[in-house]
Chain A
Amino acid sequence: MKNSFPLQLHVPEPAARPGQPPDFSWVKVPAAGSVTRPDISVEPAAIREHAYALIRVLDNNGAAVGPWDPKLDPETLHRGLRAMMLTRAYDNRMFRAQRQGKTSFYMPCTGEEAIGVAQAMALDHRDMTFPTYRQQGLLIARGWPLVDMMNQVFSNSRDRLKGRQMPVMYSSKAVGFFSIVGNLATHFPQAVGWAMASAIRHDDRIAAGWIGEGATAEGDFHHALTFASVYGAPVILNIVNNQYAISSFQGIAGGEHTTFAARGLGYGLPALRVDGNDFLAMHAVTSWAADRARSNLGPTVIELLSYRASAHSTSDDPSKYRPADEAGQWPLGDPIARLQAHLVALGAWSDEQHSHLTAEVDSEVRDAQREAESYGTMGTGEHHSPATMFDDVFKEMPWHLRRQRQELGF
């Protein structure tokens, strides 16, 4: 049989490119509070529609509505707001520091602060996290010192990672933050392995992994969901859909005809899709998934719908591939502004308090930067000795590395 038309390859294209007006008409935003909140013991098959829905708590007036409202007290909300604002201030300073030549590279999470911060607050501080390079909010919400993070970004003499990792590839065993890796998705099934180990040891700690929507195309994503499903691992599998993998819009990752949450359905896993810029919704779904994991009910897949408001990194120029004012048009708004509006609506926050907090976090970041720079930056000051380059390849240094160290002059 002969085709009526020649075959054609479909290459997905985003709704708008540079020079065109932003177009988010394809983003369906249901009313806050409209998605049901099932019991954690629900059969995954009974909530398949949740993978295509969008769990939202904060409405357009800053009110918390519906069954997913976590009913957090104002003190917790203040802490969340502060950690998000601190994260944004930190990102802004570090982005500028890169432009000033103080480091080689930086990656902000602007617009995605609710993800790291709300989820860190919903998890137990002993739970293990396997983040990507855009969840610095986890570290900040867990109270990890900014100076230590900056030491890593500056690769200076106090960098605990001895200048080995690119900036933002933090590691902090002390607060359960797994060493960041540039080989995307490799850590995602490792989070499942960690969770399996916790179950094997009858521990009470769970694991959480994060992956970008772009990296869900990697085989490791499939392995993570397969193993998590097969062994009922106590793990939360978060897919951060921030719309872009560097320049490629989410359609190139396979998001054109379905949601990323729906990936979980084929593995028999419960899958939720949540407004990633809604601090309360983020907190609520994370708590729900954590409760499931802790109750031996197994893993949960969560798609966090957000928007990467900044460049992918300091090496990226988004004006080359997306409309310039797209971020301002993102229908789910800004996570900090939305939580601020909520606190104001509750009568627990004022413009004056907000200005005061803005100044406070700025000054905290400035002070931290001053201290970190006193230990050196990428371009100036002290660094780890080249002799340390040969440490930690193995636990004990073998003869060939000793010889190579001598060859280098140490």
Chain B
Amino acid sequence: MVQALNSAMDVMMARDDTVVVFGEDVGYFGGVFRCTEGLQRKYGPDRAFDTPIAEAGILATAIGMGVYGLRPVVEIQFADYIYPATDQLVSTAARLRYRSAGEFTAPITVRTPCGGGIFGGQTHSQSPEAIFTHVCGLKTVIPSNPYDAKGLLISAIEDDDPVIFLEPKRLYNGPFNGHHDQPVTPWTEHPAGEVPDGHYTIPLSKASVVRPGEGVTVLTYGTMVHVAMAAVAESGVDAEVVDLRTLVPVDIDTIVASVTKTGRCAIVHEATRTSGFGAELSALVQENCFYSLEAPIVRVTGWDTPYPHSLEWEYFPGPRRVAEGLRRAMEG
């Protein structure tokens, strides 16, 4: 997935000379996760460069560049470090189009690795997507595989609104299904691991039905798509697994069509539960599919605690917990 993301930026930098890439360690070194490797060598230091350790400064200068007419793609090294930039994102990037009635816009893409599973403790494991989905004017995208990652990132860069692009870091090197005690299979053995070289897009706000099924709809995204698939295989429940891909604006049509068909819904995310994006999904399902529901909506999520270092796998909503959730959704 690292190569897919790199290819998306490479393709866009080649096609559009207003695309610039910057962030901490992203220039010469190519990023701590190697996502921007080679871009500085290929496009020069004024289009791919290192920045001071100042997330608010990174976002602010990106917004200023967007106002000028560039399309900055910035990397926040870990989603856990995005908070210093919150004022820039929430108060300015998200609302610039609105407050200036379209005179000024910030067509920026903010890439940031999220999620746990690498023993990153509470400062390298968070999934803060719900903070951004609550902000009007931001789009929030989370890919679950290399093919989607490239197509979605190109769409995000081409989009004229600010996009928060969360990259589940546990998926960088393979389709991690939550079985942390088993070897990870590489993306090369996964059908979505094959990524075309050139330009292609996956439209924002379009979910993907990863597995059709009749019993229960699983609404999920990011790493948890693969965990859900493992849970489905292990539980034998005939679930329809929906990878939302874009959280805001969410693909309501796919959600409604699926839940109306199955009559049951389980929501699975790695982030903490309270006021998580699952709460919004649950409300949407209730508002739009109430008369189709045969059982209460189930949420399987990270616990409402900081991500603990040594107890990572007790925190992570792995296949066993997801399978339990599926069974609960089938019982009601």
Report A's interface with B, CB cutoff 8 A.
Answer: 128, 130, 160-162, 164-165, 169, 171-173, 178-179, 181, 183, 186-201, 207, 219-220, 222-224, 226-227, 230, 391-395, 398-400
Contact = CB atoms under 8 A, between A and B. Distances in A.
B197 interface: no
Given A193-B65, A200-B47, A394-B137, A183 B104 contact: no
Nearest to B56: A223
Nearest to A181: B92
B61 interface: yes
25 contacts: A161-B100, A162-B101, A164-B98, A171-B103, A172-B103, A173-B103, A179-B99, A181-B91, A188-B60, A189-B61, A193-B63, A193-B65, A193-B67, A197-B64, A200-B46, A200-B65, A207-B64, A220-B57, A223-B60, A227-B54, A391-B101, A392-B98, A393-B97, A394-B249, A400-B250
A207 B67 CA distance: 12
Given A186-B91, A193-B67, A393-B136, 9 more contacts: A171-B100, A173-B103, A186-B87, A190-B61, A190-B67, A191-B64, A197-B69, A391-B101, A393-B97
B157 interface: no
Given A160-B101, A200-B70, A190 B64 contact: yes
A189 B97 contact: no
B52 interface: yes
A194 B65 contact: yes
B137 A196 contact: no
Contacts of A165: 99
A395 B99 CA distance: 13
B65 A392 contact: no
Contacts of A194: 64-65, 67-68
B202 interface: no
A171 B98 CA distance: 11
Q: Which 7 A-B pairs have the closest CB atoms?
A: A193-B64, A193-B61, A223-B57, A398-B249, A189-B60, A197-B68, A190-B64
Contact of B65 (A181, A183, A197): A197
Interface in B235-279: 248-250, 252
A229 B161 CA distance: 29
Contacts of B20: 197, 200
Contacts of A186: 60, 87-88, 91-92
B230 interface: no
Contacts of A201: 68, 70
A6 to B, nearest CB: 36
A398 B65 contact: no
A193 B106 CA distance: 12
Given A200-B47, A220-B56, A226-B54, A178 B104 contact: yes
A189 B56 contact: yes
B91 A196 contact: no
A226 B98 contact: no
A399 B249 contact: yes
Interface string B29-72: 00000000000000000110001101011001111111111100
Contacts of B56: 189, 219-220, 223
Interface in B4-34: 20
Residue among B100, B105, B250 facing the most chain A CB atoms (10 A cut-off): B100
B139 interface: yes
A184 B40 CA distance: 34
B201 interface: no
A171 B95 CA distance: 13
A170 to B, nearest CB: 10
Given A230-B52, A400-B249, A392 B97 contact: yes
Contacts of A196: 61, 64-65
A179 B61 contact: no
